[in-house]
Amino acid sequence: MTRYLLCLLLYLVSGAALAAPAHQSKAYMSLIIDDLGQNSARDDRTLALPGPVTMAIMPDTPHASDFARQAHKAGKTVILHMPMDPATGPYAWHPGTPLPELAQRLDAALAKVPYAAGINNHMGSLMTSQAEPMAWLMAELQRRHLFFVDSRTSAATVAAAKAQAISLAHVSRDVFLDDVRTPEAIAGQLQQGVDLARKQGSAVLIGHPYPQTLEVLEREMPRLKSQGIELITLKQMIAERSNQAMPAHGSHGVYRNR
């Protein structure tokens, strides 16, 4: 009897060990690099980063269209990095601008960034807090079959909430990599993204093509898999999150400031 119980125990333990990996939670990460199209050397270095890194291209840059085509050909996700107040320039959105003018600027910006699968806001701390234009933008993106990434440059943003209200495919940024442009600070922010992905299952990170950022990413990205992190495209991240707000952005999956 004792031998039988021992064998049964060993069988159950080994079976549980074999089954364990199937029940382990996944940790996903998506990485966006903003402000592309300005400098060919930096753009090329960004394009060489491993994995499904999203290229957010500014429309008012000298290489916007050429780099969008290059990135698309390389199999990367391209998005329009749409200037919004306090950003300036011919494409920028500002509070109080009539909707027809906003529409014209959006059309012109998308024409400059071919193959854009979606957009995220460049700056926009004031603009993304404006309910009416954000609601219009989300409806327009829905019509065009484009997704939205809320860069969350302000805690007062209502952009993701307006996207969620009409079930527009979207995600919100969790971590900025390089508000402080030192390799040590950037590596610390990347680790924060890793920790957050492990904690809540996913993390969306935004960085810029600064030399320090690219240096850290070139060194650390090949190590993500060994840390249990799977880098995925934005479309995969949208599917993973199912348009739900993360705990830092809302409650019970619903965005604040809605």
pLDDT by residue, tens only, the chain of 258 residues: 444 444 444 444 444 333 333 334 799 999 999 999 999 999 999 999 999 999 999 999 999 999 999 999 999 999 999 999 999 999 999 999 999 999 999 999 999 999 999 999 999 899 999 999 999 999 999 999 999 999 999 999 999 999 999 999 999 999 999 999 999 999 999 999 999 999 999 999 999 999 999 999 999 999 999 999 999 999 999 999 999 999 999 999 999 875
Q: In whole angstroms, what is the distance from residue 166 CA to residue 136 CA?
A: 11
What integer pLDDT is reported at residue 25 of this predicted model? 76
Angle between helices 211-220 and 183-200 (to 10 degrees): 50
Taking a C-beta distance cutoff of 8 angstroms, is the pair 194, 229 a contact?
A: yes
Q: What angle do CA 21, 24, 29 make, to 5 degrees?
A: 120
Per-residue buried b or exposed e for 171-189, using 16+ beta carbons within 10 Å of the residue's own CB: bbbbbbbbeeeeeeebbeb
Helix (H) or strand (E) holding 152: none
**pLDDT at position 258:** 57
Q: With beta carbons less than 8 A apart as the criterion, state whether 79 and 56 touch.
A: yes
Please name the amino acid found at residue 46.
T
Largest CA distance in the chain: 84
Among candidate residues 177, 170, 84, the one with its CA nearest the CA of residue 123: 84
